[in-house]
Amino acid sequence: MSDAFRELLRKIGSGIHTGENLTRSEAAAATRMMLLGEATPAQIGAFMISHRIKRPTGEELAGMLDAYEELGPMLAPPNREKGFSVSTVAVFGVPYDGRSRTAPISPLTALILAASGVPTLMHGGDTMPTKEGIPLIEIWRGLGVDWRKLSLEKVQQVFDSTGLGFVYLPKHFPQATALVPYRREIGKRPPFSTMELMWCPCAGDVNVISGYVHPPTEGMFQKAFELRGIKNYTTVKGLEGSCDLPRDRTAIIGIAKPDTKFERVLLAHGDYGFSSTNPAFESAPELLKQMQEVLLGKPSELMQSAIWNGGFYLWRSGVCLDMNSGLIQAETLLSNGQVVQKLEEVSQAVSVFS
């Protein structure tokens, strides 16, 4: 048993009257001890549920991210000589426990960005509690891209050559994967599930894109990013906490850029001619069938959501000057086959390197 960890657990687990928040360094130490297995299973489970009940602070999340940066994988940004249109890498922070009600859009968004020369990185693991929804890794596999067998070095090669990468926890960060069973056992999402939305396993110039459900979470993001010196990030009150812009309500977005103040952006689907339909997630086979049709340029509600999201992120990434031109470019890339060509390029690269 770790006595040092027990003291940190006692600090957050003492209730509303005597409990305390951890400092950034204490949160980093606690996370490090959990990742390295220095804390016992009883201590880890107690910490996770105590921290969940207390609610994390931005400072604590910053410390957790410090530990992930110290112990976890890190990719280098792709070489600019490869012809990328922008140098900033779009890093998507999507809930690891997946989706169960609405169709995920982010893999299509990632392909649209990569087809436009925007380096794009995703990360995640296998099916995960508490939602047990479809994970990104399964969607990619269904599209013919199996990231699971690639070493981090091979992922870097695919990232360099195609502008698209995926950090797969079981292969690239097994210490973090070892903490996943606790989520099922405690029956609630621990603060790690919030921290993962901000995690950036890529060095250099990045735009960290973090989805969320509850408005207070955005404030935690802002504080943690400020403490860690992240000046370029995007927050999205997205579908099921993802980075996917909704169509049944106004999209609430936060944009932070270097040398400018945090900006609130509100995008109403009706202002751009979109209906209020969010395509439903019915089953993995049906989702993959619909995605393949989108990639072939066939009109559908999922196609509309892909254009809606692709247009925004092309604008946010600096490829397009405004939302309208972003929407036009997203639709053009899908209809003229450039997005499916990018998918084929990535699929071939992954096959070669694996």
pLDDT tens readout for residues 22-80: 999 999 999 999 999 999 999 999 999 999 999 999 999 999 999 999 999 999 999 76
Q: What beta strand segments (E) does 99-228 contain?
A: 120-124, 164-168, 206-211
Phi and psi at 116, nearest 5°, equal -95, 5
For residue 129, give Cα distances in angstroms to 88, 198, 289: 32, 19, 25
Average pLDDT score over the chain: 95
Residue 176 confidence (pLDDT) = 97
Give the mean model confidence (pLDDT) for residues 297-310. Answer: 97
User: Residue 132 has which token pair?
Assistant: 């047990």
pLDDT digits (tens, 9 = 90+) for 90-148: 999 999 999 999 999 999 999 999 999 999 999 999 999 999 999 999 999 999 999 99
Q: Tell me, what's the pLDDT at 201? A: 98
Predicted confidence (pLDDT) at residue 298 exceeds the cutoff of 70: yes
324-106-127 Cα angle (round to 5): 165
Q: Give the span between the Cα atoms of 105 and 187, in whole angstroms.
A: 27
How confident is residue 14, by pLDDT bands cut at 50, 70 and 90? confident
pLDDT, average across residues 334-339: 97
| Residue 19 predicted with pLDDT over 80 | no
Give the predicted TM-score (pTM) of the model.
0.96
Lowest mean pLDDT among 81-85, 112-116, 273-277, 295-299: 81-85
220 class by beta-carbon count within 10 Å (0-12 exposed, 13-18 middle, 19+ buried): buried
> Beta strands 263-267 and 251-256: pairing type?
antiparallel
